[in-house]
Amino acid sequence: MQHTEGEANTSAARAEWDAREGDGRARDLLGRDAGAFLHQSLSSPCVATIAKAEGIWIEDVAGRRYMDFHGNSVHHVGYGHPRLVAAIKEQLDALSFSPRRFTNDVSVALAERLGAIAPGDLGKVLFTTGGSDANEVALRLARAATGRFKTLSFWDSFHGAGFGAASVGGEATFRSHIAGPLLPGAEHVAPFHCYHCAYGHPGPQNCGLACASMVDYVLGREGDVAAVIAEPMRAVPVVPPPGYWQAVRAACNRHGALLIMDEIPTGLGKTGEMFAFQHDGIVPDIVTLGKALGGGILPIAAVVARRDLDVAGDFALGHYTHEKNPVTARAALTTLDIIEEEGLVERAARLGTRAMDRLRDTLRDQAMVGDIRGRGLMFGVEIVTDRDTRAPDPARAEAIYYACLAEGLSFKISAGNVLTLSPPLTIAEADLDAALGIVETAIRDQAG
């Protein structure tokens, strides 16, 4: 099967990259990794080694440095932020663990803080160790609150690798072959994507929001859907058309379904708003957070729900061993402090607009560049065979990726052919310019 959500680790281009590795220490560590870990798509065998991570930079065992424009979406505040490291060390000395049936001040403070920054009546919280679990908690809560079990979600989406999260996800890599059978009642529709409209009407000026109308149609047709779960802005990246989420929010209200926004990669300022759904003027019933919440150091995720959805007290929604871990909670609290006090949300909006404006200007004459899109510091360049057909060109996208990696820039390929650029919110403008220059040069070189 073809894996589209990331550069393939079994392709001919990867084999050629591996063959170029001339450092003995790197080859040895990569070999040990391949021998010790279970192999899986998009992961092991690995593309490179890492010995150090600081700010926007990762450094391999040979001392080669790369600007990290991927970071698994955890590095909003950069790697190893000194204030964050100090806070974690201090918390380790003060209180390192809290059994689940006990509470502690730092975990309560984090729950209160998330309720304070979330809009509307989003104020009840549960912590998990990862985003996949957070989404599954949200789904259980929706079942408890509605008395229904069905869900509606989107093809090509990603909500985690667990059975429940994979069931509502829409990527073949996580839901096909060995993944089945999946949860019953997990209905899917085509996602919004103006550049590649599944309904044959590219561009919001032509479509009448057919993608949102399909959500309304399925909710009405099924009649008993507990929740719609979705990424507010698809991390591939794809921005929703104007009015899309208002239409879906209204459809959920009409049909008694809850709206769950998966903000795990997009939340906490990455798109130029604290929550990506704030761009679209709606408030969901439940929001999930993760990845960057732990500051790029520790794993923590959260479910933040409307206060009146606190209806499952007689059941177990999560019951995680590290549900109220004070060290991960301290990491999250400090990360929120850094984001707010350093003005990183506003910074992401400003730098993201600047970066996309530059790319649209410098690459406007490149026929292989079909679309440049995004919000804040999550943006992408779609590589196509030509602009008329908009046909994806994965081979050329992969060649550009390895050319950039050779020049010290790491990022992710999404959907098979989208150069997805997601730098830390702390990136210096000079470093952002240098990275954009690397991308521009690699694209021009591929044009011949």
Tens of pLDDT along 334-348? 999 999 999 999 999
Beta pairing, strands 286-289 & 301-306: antiparallel
pLDDT of residue 171: 86
- How far does Cα 114 stand from its chain's mean position? 19
- Structure tokens given for 132: 């996949």
Cα–Cα separations (whole angstroms), residue 402 to 74, 192, 295, 441, 442: 22, 30, 28, 13, 9
- Per-residue model confidence (pLDDT) at position 360: 98
Q: What is the DSSP string of 379-408?
A: EEEEEBS-TTT--B-HHHHHHHHHHHHHTT
In the chain, which residues have pLDDT < 70?
A: 1-7, 203-204
Amino acid code (one letter) for 255: H
C-alpha span between 372 and 401 (Å, rounded): 16
Specify the pLDDT at position 270: 98
Render pLDDT for 282-293 as a digit per residue (tens, 0 to 9).
999 999 999 999
